[in-house]
């Protein structure tokens, strides 16, 4: 069984992932982490990304400077799409390989469900939702973002309506942690019952 978990930055996807890993022994595949690995020197995406965006994105040690790259693509929609077109096919291939190699529940996390093609390899897609104000507060506290930076990053992602339209289940993550955990248990059990996994 493969569950896709999506949601905007600051929605608390990690709460859901940690619960599934600890409670269900799920393999957690975070697409951002896979992309980071593939953008290491010698990785499948490294050469294409450095050729497309130039030496200004490289640190002195030859690594891609993720902050420089993020600043470049978050401020330019065309460059963001270019980066996604270079990385997503290779990331998807690696995600599929990891799913096939694991005998048990796999959970794939992404903030970009459409681009990631979650529907192609997930049995169900869960959207982790929380209000924008809670997201902003979390990002300001946890990542040290300014309010403006939060709004900029959030604007570059899908809207709540788009996330909902791409998902089978909505996990409301604005309350107590136990409430979120109960929604996860219920959603998992309902899916198993309906699909006989």
Do domains 1-26+104-192 and 32-103 share one topology? The answer is: yes
The binding site consists of: 10-15
**Fold that domain 32-103 belongs to in CATH:** Rossmann fold (3.40.50)
- Please give the DSSP secondary-structure letter assigned to residue 16: H
List per-residue pLDDT tens for the chain, 197 residues long: 999 999 999 999 999 999 999 999 999 999 999 999 999 999 999 999 999 999 999 999 999 999 999 889 988 989 999 998 999 899 999 999 999 999 999 999 988 777 657 788 899 999 999 999 999 999 999 999 999 999 988 998 899 999 999 999 999 999 999 999 999 999 999 999 988 76
Domain ranges of the chain: 1-26+104-192, 32-103
For residues 127 and 170, the answer to whether their CB atoms sit within 8 Å is: yes
The binding site for ATP consists of: 10-15
* Bridge partner residues of 27 (DSSP): 106
Six-digit token pair at 164? 């909902």
Which CATH architecture fits 1-26+104-192?
A: 3-Layer(aba) Sandwich (3.40)
Give Cβ neighbours of residue 134 (< 8 Å, ≥ 6 apart).
10, 174
- Give pTM, 2 decimals: 0.86
């Amino acid at each position: 069984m493969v569950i896709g978990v999506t949601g905007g930055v600051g929605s608390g996807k990690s709460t859901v992932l940690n619960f599934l890993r600890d409670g269900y022994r799920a393999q957690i595949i975070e697409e951002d982490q896979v992309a980071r690995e593939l953008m290491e020197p010698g990785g499948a995406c490294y050469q294409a990304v450095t050729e497309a965006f130039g030496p200004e994105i490289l640190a002195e040690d030859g690594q891609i400077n993720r902050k420089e790259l993020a600043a470049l693509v978050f401020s330019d929609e065309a460059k963001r799409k270019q980066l996604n077109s270079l990385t997503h096919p290779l990331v998807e291939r690696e995600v599929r390989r990891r799913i096939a190699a694991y005998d048990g529940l796999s959970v794939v996390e992404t903030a970009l469900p459409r681009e990631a093609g979650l529907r192609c390899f997930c049995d169900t897609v869960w959207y982790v939702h929380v209000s924008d104000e809670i997201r902003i507060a979390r990002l300001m506290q946890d990542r040290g973002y300014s309010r403006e930076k939060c709004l900029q990053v959030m604007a570059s992602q899908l809207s709540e309506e788009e996330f909902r339209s791409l998902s089978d289940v909505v996990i409301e993550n604005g309350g107590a942690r136990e409430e979120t955990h109960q929604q996860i248990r219920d959603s998992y059990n309902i899916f198993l019952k309906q699909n006989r996994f």
